[in-house]
Amino acid sequence: AQSVTQPDIHITVSEGASLELRCNYSYGATPYLFWYVQSPGQGLQLLLKYFSGDTLVQGIKGFEAEFKRSQSSFNLRKPSVHWSDAAEYFCAVGAEERKTSYDKVIFGPGTSLSVIP
């Protein structure tokens, strides 16, 4: 069965420091992967996605992620964190439901990011 793990429940970084959020997935076929961000009380915003091709993916707000098949990982990075980046971050894997031609998106448990000014 498909699954997503995010080993860090909560991370605190200082403003201006670099950031890496970890994500590991379990999926039998070639996965396609997402990172979403959610500010308190808000909906989810897509930061970036990986479907195929270049394993280093650039997203919005200065984020990037690297797909490593050998490690089943899709870690999110940002070189310099801003106070406005404080939010909940969800890694997700898309799994095709063949009978319906629909993709079920499986979310990881999330990592809460706090930023110290």
Could you list the residues that contact other proteins (CB under 8 A)? 32, 34, 36, 41-46, 49, 51, 90, 94, 96-97, 100-105, 107-110, 112
Task: Work out the angle at residue 21's Cα, subtended by the Cα atoms of residues 16 and 25, and round it to the nearest 5 degrees.
Answer: 165
83/102 with CB nearer other proteins = 102
Q: How far apart are CA 112 and CA 21, in angstroms?
A: 10
For the chain, the farthest-separated pair of C-alpha atoms sits apart, in whole angstroms, at 49
Q: Which CB, 14 or 84, lies closer to other proteins?
A: 84
- Parallel, antiparallel, or unpaired for β 111-116 and 87-97? antiparallel
| Smallest separation (angstroms) from other proteins to the CB of 50 | 11
Rounded to a whole number of angstroms, the minimum distance from the CB of residue 104 to other proteins is 7
CB of 99 to other proteins, least distance (A): 9
Q: Which is nearer to other proteins, 73 or 112 (CB)?
A: 112
How far apart CA 15 and CA 18 sit, in angstroms, is 9
